[in-house]
A and B are shown apart, each in its own frame.
Chain A
Amino acid sequence: MSGTNTGPAYTGSYLQDYGSRRGLMAWLTTTDHKRIGIMYMVVMFSFFAIAVLLGLLIRLELMNPGLQFVTARVYNSLFTLHGVIMIFLFIVPGIPAVMGNFILPLHLGADDVSFPKLNLASWYIYMVGALMALASLFVGGGVPDTGWTFYAPYALRSNTNVSLAVLAAFVLGFSSILTGMNFITTIHRLRAPGMSFFRMPLFCWGLYATAWIQVIATPVVGITLLLVVMERSLGIGFFDPARGGDPILYQHLFWIYSHPVVYVMILPAMGVVSEILPTFSGRTIFGYRAIALSSMAIALVGYVVWAHHMFTTGISDTARWIFSLLTFLVAIPTGIKVFNWMATLYRGSIRIEVPLLYALGFVFLFSIGGLTGLVNGALATDIHVHDTAFIVGHFHYTMFGGAGIGFFAALHYWWPKVWGRMYNRKRAMWAWGLIMVGFNTLYFPMLVLGIMGMPRRYADYLPKFHTPHLISTIGSWIIFAGMALMFFNLIRAIKHGAKAPDNPWGGTTLEWQTTSPPPQLNFATPPVVTTGPYDHTALRAAAAREARP
């Protein structure tokens, strides 16, 4: 464990160096969960920026019918790379590795995660995976063009760098497993005295459910991806129809992981929203246990719905209706969450602040994502919309509108805690407005295009699809402007922002009881918990006591 550092900086901000190392080396060798969270943040947002640019290029190519900027082959590489980076490098590890690392021990009242060294190792493994993914661009056969799903048999035949990209995904998965193990153990072992499981903040519940998916689902895709490499190098034939193998089996194994992993993306974001809504409603969350347990329910049900990605592949009819039925079950725990959130807002003393705006944006966009998901989950309509732009629109509403916007909400909620600085409120609101408008302008036309019959992953299209494509591309510029403004505002705040108080939002969870930014070991005195996580009455009583002369 890490905490053997003693010295004068013991109570100082974690951002100051302590111990014998200074500067960059102090960061690269740290086992402090907060610093590791920041290291993830820096790397991930760099990759996010790259993938956003690739996305802009895709939209630019699709602005007009015909091929203007790239060939069909380069277009294939563009969307593959956009998908691989966004999925494996940003959105899957995103909230857990960045905000989870930073906030989880603070939420639990611990001074670090259970295995700090392993935590740092996870970061390095992530970096190795990321560099392998980058290397696949420049060496050998060039950028993979299979799409992020690496479907057999094309992934077995493609002459591009599929093997390296697949290995990169394997390594990234390993990093994700280690983070998951760390979080589960931390939650089991390092809760503050008095904090029972049902007194944990809901963000921790989200991370807990997520961590279980990471631990139980990731190895399956790990072995599957390794087998793809073996297949490419030795021709073992598991997924190769020419050797008696079944390419559909690859899809089964791939989605056995990759469907649950959708919930790895969304559960932490739901946790973030469950933190923000009670804080800005000035009251406890409605239906705490229902929200906490629905996270576990989503994780569990998430395991048994994977084949809804394969309705049109020729899987058996029995499998089709069973998986369709199971898919609809996911709507239940998700609905429980949304209704409880709304009930939390009802009659709350709502303060409109930037994190709340993002949280509400999440609820709105994710609801569209969830409802369009039901369209795909129904057998008959799925035949119509499968592999169309409708799917692209749907999963961007869930992943970006859900997990991505949830991530932005988390950034705005905890930024003052992380850096000890406030960002510009007005500018942040403008950015939020641009993002929300841009988002819907960008992705809603895709839903329409899909219904009209526009296939996904095509560089060119018929003239009748032109107008929605044009609108969508204009939307991509608006949301880009919004995100640029948002990041400018956040980054500027680190240096120039006003000093943040310890508890700028009137939050009730433990992270607000320590200083902003927190000291190296998180709490000057170890906290003891006597109530549930969102007890605003106690907070108000304490404030009243202090106000009294």
Chain B
Amino acid sequence: MSAVSKPMEAQAAHHEHRDDEGSKTGMWLFLFTEVLLFGGLFIIYAVYRHRFGTEFHEAAHELNKVMGVTNTFVLLTSSLTMVLSVGALQRRQVAASLRWLWVTFGLACCFLVIKFFEWSAKHHHGIWPGGEHLHSMPSGEGLFYNLYFMMTGLHGIHVLIGMVVMAVVAARISSGHINGDRFGALEYTGLYWHLVDLVWIFLLPLFYLTN
């Protein structure tokens, strides 16, 4: 211990004094804010579905069910690979952990690509916030599509942020900063990612399976 240079010693001290449960508490609190952020949109959805039930059903017919369900499959699987990555790192299997993490990243990418095709098909028909066709729709259907774009859009932004975080975490696992002794960052990324999955689980029946 005495042979270690000063900054290293400080780092070691830092290491031992980290409060994992505190960090986890902070992460869960952050997740609550995310839930409530989407919660506001869910309230709006509930109110307008209550008011425009028929129009919502009409509009939902136009959404591509196959793409929605495929994306659910992709996201559920990415949640699995994420949790496998965390489990692998806990067992100090760094290579396996990295592999699963990058698979998760790939699946997230896949999700966004499918989403992109779905959105562009709609965009093609003028169904887009501020788009012509959307504006000329009956109020209820217009609200449905605007809600669809706001909610899947906000969700998509979260997927994107998740991918960035995953890439950073992967780099830090490669460099050994995140390892079998301190894997908090990976664990919390996982928590975030599962939440993104969780939100999508609710979006699926609300938009794609409404008829």
Residue positions of A touching B, CB distance < 8 A:
1, 4, 6, 114-115, 118, 177, 180-182, 184-185, 188-190, 215-224, 227, 230, 233-238, 243-246, 249, 252-253, 256
**Bound Cα distance A229, B106 (Å):** 33
Which single residue of chain B is at the shortest CB-CB distance from A218?
B33
Q: Are A236 and B150 in contact (CB under 8 A)?
A: yes
The answer, yes or no, to whether B65 is at the interface (CB within 8 Å) is: no
Given A185-B22, A185-B26, A246-B47, A237:B36 Cβ within 8 A: no
Q: How many A-B residue pairs have CB under 8 A?
A: 108
Q: Least Cβ distance of A247 to chain B in Å? A: 12
Residues in B neighbouring A185, C-beta threshold 8 A: 22, 25-26, 29
**Bound Cα distance A473, B19 (Å):** 54
Residues in B neighbouring A230, C-beta threshold 8 A: 129, 150
Contact of B40 among A236, A243, A253 (CB under 8 A): A253
Residues in A neighbouring B154, C-beta threshold 8 A: 223
Contact of B143 among A115, A180, A238, A256 (CB under 8 A): A238
Q: Are B47 and A1 in contact (CB under 8 A)?
A: no
Residues in B neighbouring A234, C-beta threshold 8 A: 129-130
The answer, yes or no, to whether B13 is at the interface (CB within 8 Å) is: yes
Given A4-B13, A114-B22, A237-B143, A215:B47 Cβ within 8 A: no
Residues in B neighbouring A245, C-beta threshold 8 A: 139, 143
Residues in B neighbouring A222, C-beta threshold 8 A: 37, 40
Residues in B neighbouring A1, C-beta threshold 8 A: 14, 17-18
Given A244-B142, A245-B143, A184:B150 Cβ within 8 A: no
Which single residue of chain A is at the shortest CB-CB distance from B30?
A181
Q: Are B36 and A216 in contact (CB under 8 A)?
A: yes
Q: Are B22 and A188 in contact (CB under 8 A)?
A: yes
**Contacts beyond the supplied A181-B33, A216-B33, A222-B37: 17 A-B pairs with Cβ under 8 Å:** A1-B14, A6-B10, A114-B22, A185-B22, A185-B25, A185-B26, A188-B22, A189-B19, A215-B29, A220-B39, A221-B40, A223-B154, A236-B129, A243-B143, A244-B139, A245-B143, A246-B47
The answer, yes or no, to whether B52 is at the interface (CB within 8 Å) is: yes
The answer, yes or no, to whether B44 is at the interface (CB within 8 Å) is: yes
Q: Are A184 and B44 in contact (CB under 8 A)?
A: no
Residues in A neighbouring B52, C-beta threshold 8 A: 244
List B residues 123-153 near A (Cβ within 8 Å).
129-130, 135, 138-140, 142-143, 146-147, 149-150
Q: Are B33 and A215 in contact (CB under 8 A)?
A: yes
Residues in B neighbouring A188, C-beta threshold 8 A: 22, 25
Contact of A243 among B13, B21, B142 (CB under 8 A): B142
The answer, yes or no, to whether B32 is at the interface (CB within 8 Å) is: yes
Contact of A249 among B44, B140, B150 (CB under 8 A): B44
Residues in A neighbouring B48, C-beta threshold 8 A: 244
Q: Are B129 and A4 in contact (CB under 8 A)?
A: no
CB<8 Å pairs between A and B, sample of 9: A114-B22, A115-B26, A182-B26, A215-B32, A216-B33, A223-B41, A238-B146, A244-B138, A256-B43
Most interface-central of B13, B17, B34, B37 (chain A CB within 10 A): B37
Q: Are B25 and A244 in contact (CB under 8 A)?
A: no
Which single residue of chain A is at the shortest CB-CB distance from B138?
A244
Q: Are A253 and B43 in contact (CB under 8 A)?
A: yes
**Bound Cα distance A249, B52 (Å):** 15
Q: Least Cβ distance of A193 to chain B in Å? A: 15
Which single residue of chain B is at the shortest CB-CB distance from A211?
B29
**Bound Cα distance A27, B145 (Å):** 49
List B residues 7-59 near A (Cβ within 8 Å).
10, 13-14, 17-19, 21-22, 25-26, 29-30, 32-34, 36-41, 43-44, 47-48, 51-52
Residues in B neighbouring A249, C-beta threshold 8 A: 44, 47
Residues in A neighbouring B147, C-beta threshold 8 A: 238
Given A234-B129, A235-B129, A243-B139, A223:B17 Cβ within 8 A: no
**Bound Cα distance A215, B35 (Å):** 11
Contact of A114 among B26, B142, B149 (CB under 8 A): B26
Q: Least Cβ distance of B180 to chain A in Å? A: 22
Contact of A237 among B10, B17, B18, B139 (CB under 8 A): B139
Which single residue of chain B is at the shortest CB-CB distance from A225?
B40
Per-residue A-contact encoding for B44-85, CB less than 8 Å = 1, 0 else? 100110011000000000000000000000000000000000
Most interface-central of B38, B39, B138 (chain A CB within 10 A): B39
Q: Least Cβ distance of B161 to chain A in Å? A: 14
Q: Give me the 4 closest cross-chain CB pairs, A-B, nearest first.
A: A244-B139, A223-B40, A219-B36, A219-B37
**Bound Cα distance A235, B34 (Å):** 25
Which single residue of chain B is at the shortest CB-CB distance from A236?
B146
Which single residue of chain A is at the shortest CB-CB distance from B29?
A181
Most interface-central of B17, B21, B150 (chain A CB within 10 A): B150
Residues in B neighbouring A189, C-beta threshold 8 A: 19, 21-22, 25
Residues in A neighbouring B25, C-beta threshold 8 A: 114, 184-185, 188-189
Most interface-central of B17, B138, B146 (chain A CB within 10 A): B146
**Bound Cα distance A190, B40 (Å):** 32
Which single residue of chain A is at the shortest CB-CB distance from B153?
A230
Q: Least Cβ distance of B159 to chain A in Å? A: 17
Residues in B neighbouring A246, C-beta threshold 8 A: 47, 51
Residues in B neighbouring A243, C-beta threshold 8 A: 139, 142-143
**Bound Cα distance A252, B142 (Å):** 21
Which single residue of chain A is at the shortest CB-CB distance from B10?
A4
Residues in B neighbouring A6, C-beta threshold 8 A: 10
**Bound Cα distance A221, B41 (Å):** 11
Contact of B14 among A4, A190, A221 (CB under 8 A): A4
Q: Least Cβ distance of A429 to chain B in Å? A: 42
Residues in B neighbouring A220, C-beta threshold 8 A: 36-37, 39-40, 43
Q: Are A227 and B150 in contact (CB under 8 A)?
A: yes
Residues in A neighbouring B38, C-beta threshold 8 A: 223
Q: Least Cβ distance of A255 to chain B in Å? A: 12
**Bound Cα distance A188, B19 (Å):** 11
Q: Are A219 and B29 in contact (CB under 8 A)?
A: no
**Bound Cα distance A394, B40 (Å):** 29
Residues in B neighbouring A182, C-beta threshold 8 A: 26
Residues in B neighbouring A244, C-beta threshold 8 A: 48, 52, 138-140, 142-143
Q: Are A219 and B142 in contact (CB under 8 A)?
A: no
Residues in B neighbouring A216, C-beta threshold 8 A: 32-33, 36
Q: Least Cβ distance of A390 to chain B in Å? A: 31
**Bound Cα distance A115, B43 (Å):** 32
Q: Are B40 and A224 in contact (CB under 8 A)?
A: yes
